[in-house]
Structure 1
Amino acid sequence: MTITWTDTLDTIDWNELSDLYRKAPLGDKPPERLKMVFSNSMFRRFAYEDGVLVAAGRALADGADCSYICDIAILPSHQGRGLGRALIDQLVELSRGHAKIILYAVPGREGFYARHGFRRMTTAMAIFQDQEGAMARGYLARE
């Protein structure tokens, strides 16, 4: 498997990226929304194999205080091959120098990120557009 990594947005097929998130499966992320969020992210990485997008992720960062790693997606046929580890390692390295690096994980995947040095926060809180749905999917605690 020869993987080519890039951070350029110039050649991204936003429909292909949207399809990657759907297959990962990380939900329906419309191409135009992905273009906006990746364009507004300081760091981003895309992995290709034979011209096919197989992994993607990004980090919102302010340059000093906080970098927030999110939207990590690996094509199911490529999961378990070390791409997730490589993607997280690259985004963490790009984020070095920030006072804190925060990561938002899919419930049940916390162990994977713990192997990269991430620890569960005790004070994190969130407001979701769909609070009930977020609770049902395990992202928010019912209080």
Structure 2
Amino acid sequence: MAISFDNALGIHQHTLGVRSQRAELLAGNIANADTPGYKAKDLDFEAALASAKAKQSMGLSRSHNNHIAGQSSLLSEELYRVPLQPDSGDGNTVDLQTERNQFMENALQYQASVEFLGSKFSGLRKALRGD
């Protein structure tokens, strides 16, 4: 009987990819905190997770039939964050404290998903060994 990893691992396998993508966006926001005109980005976690669960990925267009069809790593559409503070005059919407808080919260949730997956693999290993 084959093991279904989708059933065995649950939602945590999908959350890692979404959390990773969100970490990249938040890190980009922090890196561009002083860039004039930069707009803070984020993603809708629920929509991205639903997309990851449905295994829907955006196909890349090919200019020739012999080219290999690629898949985009983008799990969900990037959204612009609504600024909490008035415009400082340079058009940048990054609030550094908000971005740091969001980044740390995302990192903690990523770590929790890694630990849940670790415990799932540990359980599978015990089941295979017959412990």
**TM-score interval, normalised by the smaller of the two chains:** under 0.3
Q: Larger % of helix: which?
A: 2
User: Which gives a bigger RCO, structure 1 or 2 (Cα 8 Å, sep 6+)?
Assistant: 2
